[in-house]
């Protein structure tokens, strides 16, 4: 356990995907026991570099040294043997297995008869979890866990397999502020035990808070980096995008007009059949952004899915532009004027094996202007896609490329491009900027504001309170399935919202 992490150096790594040079002569040193921030715009090559280090990708050229010895890392298994562990941007757990089974997979503890012993596995995992301050229930199935808990399982898995160098690819993108705090506590603890940590993130403040050194990437190359003291947030941002990012301008407040989305006394169940949304009633007017704040898992997800027609309402009704849509399917609601940026981009928002052009028509494949009669010609789709991809700066803007080949942030931009370019009266935006870089966040925020200014009704769900506060005209707080608080950005702050979100202020709404 005390054995310290090996120093690691990546030298002149180059990795191409067709014409795209994802890593262009990249060199990176990881000192034992440091926390190293890795930042850069979407598509800069951060995930690619770490996947090379973890043996998921082979570099076209360049070398890797671990503890001073040149090594070839053919597979994640080889990486594990070298003491490397990785927590991916998109988790890689087996949903139907338990925590202990997932953690021990590949190195299961054996019982008396040489067979897999669930009890032994659970005991070992419990001990490991306790040692590192990672609270999880070893016997729980993955599918029943929150995102934060799944991430702890991923970390445990890496540690169980002996990781002394831990790579975390955008670990905080999907976490609530509370979970982020918990994660940082764990990471500091791991560092104290000598673990080296690579932290990829778009939230530069996290790098400042946690890391000792930082590396900044842009367009596949390292463009700067060094001691964190010499790299304040503004400096990192400038290196990343090549220029300073203008702050979001305070917006002129709009007169509320007609209600475009009306929800009355809505009850919705979650996947386990428990009541996730309890008697939710609210309206979103044209020319208004309504923010929905809440700790993840308090019913926001189920509420949005129900509004989008992907989950049944047990009770209550939903009106879009004065039309009762409660009984309509997802397609019916889209036709009635609903756009939806879903929170889970790989499960809901994209068909990763389809092309960018095909993904841009998802949800609109039946609309008359998408094709001619029953036809949906590939060429026409691609021609139309080119403009949208350029406008939303999806990189690379090649309509014929598969969506799975995009970097995480660019996948998110692709979905936002599709939903915001359709001119729907009501926009449901669940975590619209999750995993996108600073420049793209600013751009998407402008876009949401523009939707509002065009007289649309936007429901914004986000775990970023700063985002909610910056964009919303009105804010609801959701707690345990109920809308417990309504306020305006000028009348509140993150702390007050936080108290309502954790149920420490009495219920206000009915």
Tell me the two tokens of residue 136: 């999880």
* Cα–Cα nearest to 87, from 130, 56, 43: 56
Query: Per CB under 8 A, does 220 bind another protein?
Result: no
The dihedral sign for the CA sequence 277, 281, 285, 288:
negative
Nearer CB in complex with another protein: 17/116: 17
From the CB of 320, what's the least distance to ligand ATP, in Å?
32
Query: Per CB under 6 A, does 462 bind ligand ATP?
Result: no
Q: Which stretch binds ligand ATP (CB under 6 A): 129-137, 252-260, 401-409, 493-501?
A: 401-409
Contacts with 423 (C-beta within 8 Å, 6 or more apart), sequence order: none
Query: Per CB under 6 A, does 146 bind ligand ATP?
Result: no
Nearer CB in complex with another protein: 254/384: 384
Q: Which stretch binds another protein (CB under 8 A): 24-32, 352-360, 427-435, 456-464?
A: 352-360
Q: Which stretch binds another protein (CB under 8 A): 90-98, 123-131, 218-226, 340-348?
A: 340-348
Query: Per CB under 8 A, does 488 bind another protein?
Result: no
> How many Å apart are CA 103 and CA 100, to the nearest integer?
5
> How many Å apart are CA 390 and CA 98, to the nearest integer?
44
* Cα–Cα nearest to 228, from 204, 252, 249, 244: 204
Distances, alpha carbon 64 to alpha carbons 26, 87, 130, 164, 375, in Å: 11, 20, 34, 16, 51
Query: Per CB under 6 A, does 433 bind ligand ATP?
Result: no
26 DSSP β-pair partners = 13
Binds another protein by CB under 8 A, chosen from 329, 390, 446, 466: 329
Tell me the two tokens of residue 498: 């936080």
Nearer CB in complex with ligand ATP: 148/409: 409
Segment holding 87, helix H or strand E: strand 84-87
Nearer CB in complex with another protein: 248/376: 376
Binds another protein by CB under 8 A, chosen from 120, 376, 442, 509: 376
71 phi, psi to nearest 5 deg: -135, 155
Query: Per CB under 6 A, does 396 bind ligand ATP?
Result: yes
Here's the x/- map for ligand ATP, 6-45, by CB under 6 A: it reads as: -----------x--x-x-----------------x-xxxx
| Helix residue ranges, H only, 116-265 | 118-132, 147-160, 177-192, 204-210, 233-241
Binds another protein by CB under 8 A, chosen from 1, 375, 491, 504: 375
Query: Per CB under 6 A, does 218 bind ligand ATP?
Result: no
From the CB of 18, what's the least distance to another protein, in Å?
4
* CA R_g for the chain: 23
The footprint of Mg ion (CB under 5 A) covers: 47, 407-408
The binding site for ligand ATP (CB under 6 A) comprises: 17, 20, 22, 40, 42-48, 395-396, 405-410
């Amino acid at each position: 356990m005390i054995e310290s992490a090996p120093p690691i150096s990546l030298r002149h790594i180059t990795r191409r995907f067709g014409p795209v040079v994802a890593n262009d002569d990249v060199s990176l040193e990881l000192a034992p026991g440091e926390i190293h921030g890795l930042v850069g715009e979407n598509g800069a090559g951060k995930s690619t570099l770490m996947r090379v280090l973890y043996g998921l990708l082979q570099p076209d050229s360049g070398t890797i040294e671990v503890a001073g010895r040149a090594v070839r890392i053919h597979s994640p298994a080889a990486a594990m043997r070298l003491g490397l562990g990785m927590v991916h941007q998109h988790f890689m757990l087996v949903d139907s297995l338990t925590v202990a089974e997932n953690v021990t997979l590949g190195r299961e503890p054996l019982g008396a008869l040489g067979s897999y012993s669930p009890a032994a596995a659970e005991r070992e995992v419990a001990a490991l979890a306790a040692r590192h301050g990672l609270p999880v229930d070893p016997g729980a199935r993955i599918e029943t866990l929150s995102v934060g808990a799944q991430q702890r399982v991923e970390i445990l898995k890496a540690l169980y397999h002996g990781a002394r160098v831990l790579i975390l690819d955008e670990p905080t993108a999907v976490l609530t502020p509370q979970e982020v705090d918990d994660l940082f506590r764990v990471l500091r603890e791991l560092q104290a035990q000598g673990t080296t940590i690579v932290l990829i993130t778009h939230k530069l403040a996290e790098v400042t808070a946690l890391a000792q050194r930082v590396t900044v990437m842009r367009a596949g190359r390292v463009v700067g980096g060094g001691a964190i003291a010499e790299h304040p947030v503004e400096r990192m941002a400038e290196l990343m995008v090549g220029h300073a990012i203008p702050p979001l301008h305070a917006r002129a407040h709009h007169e509320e007009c007609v209600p475009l989305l009306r929800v009355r006394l809505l009850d919705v169940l979650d996947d386990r059949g428990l009541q996730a949304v309890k008697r939710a009633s609210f309206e979103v007017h044209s020319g208004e952004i309504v923010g929905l704040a809440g700790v993840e898992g308090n019913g926001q997800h189920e509420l949005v899915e129900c509004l989008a027609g992907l989950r049944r309402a047990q009770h209550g009704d939903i009106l879009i532009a004065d039309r009762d849509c409660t009984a309509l399917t997802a397609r019916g609601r889209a036709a009635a004027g609903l756009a939806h940026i879903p929170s889970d981009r790989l499960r809901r928002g994209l068909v990763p094996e389809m092309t960018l052009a095909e993904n841009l028509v998802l949800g609109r494949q039946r609309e008359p202007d998408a094709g001619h009669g029953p036809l949906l010609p590939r060429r026409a789709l691609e021609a139309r896609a080119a403009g949208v991809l350029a406008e939303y700066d999806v990189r690379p803007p090649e309509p014929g490329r598969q969506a799975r080949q995009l970097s995480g942030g660019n996948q998110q931009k692709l979905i936002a491009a599709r939903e915001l370019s359709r001119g729907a009266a009501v926009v449901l935006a669940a975590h619209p900027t999750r995993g996108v870089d600073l420049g793209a966040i600013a751009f998407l925020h402008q876009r949401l504001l523009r939707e509002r200014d065009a007289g649309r009704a936007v429901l914004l769900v986000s775990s970023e309170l700063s985002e909610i506060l910056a964009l919303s005209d009105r804010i609801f707080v959701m707690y345990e399935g109920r809308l417990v608080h309504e306020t305006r950005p000028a009348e509140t702050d993150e702390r007050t919202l936080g108290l309502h979100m954790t149920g420490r202020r009495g219920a206000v709404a009915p």
